[in-house]
Amino acid sequence: MLAVPSKPPPSKQYLNQLRLHKAAPAPIQVAVSSGTVPWPDLVVQAGPAVSALYVIALLLSAPIYLVYYLLDKFIFPIFLYAFEAIARTPCLNATAHSEVLPGDGCAFITGADSGIGKEIALNLANRGFDLVITSHNEEHGEEVQREIAAKYPQIKVKYFAADLAAPDAATHVYEEIFPLLPDWCQDVSILVNDAGVGYYGAFVNVPTKKLQMMVQLNNNTPVGLMSYFLEGMMARKRGMVLNLGSIQSFDPGPAEATYGATKAFLLSISRAMHYELRSTGISVTAACPGFTQTSFWKPDEEPLGAKIPCLLQQAAPCAAQCVEGMFARKPYVVTGNVGGLFNRFLVTVGQMNSEDFGCWFVNTLWRLPKKV
């Protein structure tokens, strides 16, 4: 039988190392999807030190997050808005510029029987432009014609009634009505698409025919008229188009969902065409009025904002700002009292925030119906 040698007793140095190892704290364990693994090469004793480090990290990260939030939500948008003028260059360069002067052609204005459209007609007549005006209300339109003729006897003015909400209205006007007008009416150098309609109420409560008619009058007819009359402007290498939008062009409008969408369309197509035609001698401008004193709203549908005197602008100064923006060859102009300061603030705030904020703000000013 073989004798098995006994193990030598542990040395004193080994016992000391074992005692220190047992007294050492366990390494931090990090939870992962496959289990727990030791934190590599890092042993931190739990206690006040960890809490202090956590608080310090939190205090350091909070200002960083705050700065990021301010930059993302406010600083960058403000700088972008301030420097937007760099990208919003005039549509015409020095060689392509062709100023539209009285005598170069007439101005064709839709919806000129009242409100902003009527004031635009008076403004252009005061500038010396001959006018062709149209509206659905023949009585009011003829009255405006007589008023312009009496106030500006040197100006030629021609009125005809037309239902621009009808299908193919633009084709009917261009191909069937204009050929019957005097020769001086054939050279249209300024086109103003002012005719429009809006219905107040939740989308599901507005009759389908009214919704379709709104899109036809507010969008389809202006697009058709621009397509037709731009042919002559391109041939003459001069011309201006003014499309009447709204400050609702920038934000969705509860209780006026379709109306706001049609105005957003006009702003979008105007800005795109403004850029497309920038070297042709032709400009396209979208006018975006705020609350304006017109007969557009029914008494029971008048927005809350229209009841605040400082926000409500009269039609004449609004029209003047629209025309000035057109002659300045701007892609769009926001009108309003004090140079449109409040309305431009609304536009800026709406662009800086989410759609929910825009809906909430418009809901506050336009009184969204409680029941759908």
Alpha-carbon gap, residue 138 to 115, rounded angstroms: 15
- List the single range of 23-27, 143-147, 288-292 with lowest mean pLDDT: 23-27
Confidence of residue 64 (pLDDT cuts 50, 70, 90): confident
Q: What is the pLDDT of residue 361?
A: 58
Alpha-carbon gap, residue 361 to 352, rounded angstroms: 13
Name the residue type at position 158.
K
Arithmetic mean of pLDDT, 53-69: 71
Helix axes 315-327, 115-126, angle to 10 degrees: 60
Cβ distance 185 to 174 under 8 Å?
no
50 alpha-carbon distance from chain centroid:
51
Residues 6+ apart with CB under 8 A from 267: 243, 245, 249, 250, 286, 288, 332
Alpha-carbon gap, residue 124 to 194, rounded angstroms: 14
Neighbours of 269 (CB within 10 A): 18
Helix axes 355-366, 337-352, angle to 10 degrees: 140
Arithmetic mean of pLDDT, 363-367: 56
Residue 25: C-alpha distances to residues 28, 43, 46 (Å)? 9, 8, 9
Q: What is the pLDDT of residue 365?
A: 57
The domains located in the chain, with CATH, are 101-366 (3.40.50.720)
- Copy the structure tokens of residue 176: 């069937």
- Residue 135: closest CA among 153, 149, 155, 121: 121
- Copy the structure tokens of residue 233: 């402007």
How do residues 324-350 score in pLDDT, each as one tens digit? 999 999 999 999 876 567 777 777 666
Confidence of residue 19 (pLDDT cuts 50, 70, 90): low
Arithmetic mean of pLDDT, 53-59: 70
Measured over the CA atoms of residue 135, residue 140, residue 145 and residue 151, the dihedral's sign is negative
Instruction: Work out the angle at residue 217's Cα, subtended by the Cα atoms of residues 212 and 223, and round it to the nearest 5 degrees.
Output: 110
Share the mean pLDDT of the chain: 79
Arithmetic mean of pLDDT, 87-106: 62
102 against 144, higher pLDDT? 144
How do residues 146-168 score in pLDDT, each as one tens digit? 999 999 999 999 999 999 999 99
Q: What percent of the chain is modeled with pLDDT above 70?
A: 63
Alpha-carbon gap, residue 178 to 183, rounded angstroms: 9
Q: What is the pLDDT of residue 220?
A: 98
Asked if 259 is an active-site residue, the reply is yes
What's the pTM? 0.70
Q: What is the pLDDT of residue 42?
A: 42
Active-site annotation holder among 152, 159, 259, 332: 259
- List the single range of 19-23, 72-76, 267-271 with lowest mean pLDDT: 19-23
Cβ distance 228 to 248 under 8 Å?
no
Active-site annotation holder among 263, 298, 332, 370: 263
Instruction: Check residue 254 and report its DSSP letter.
Output: T
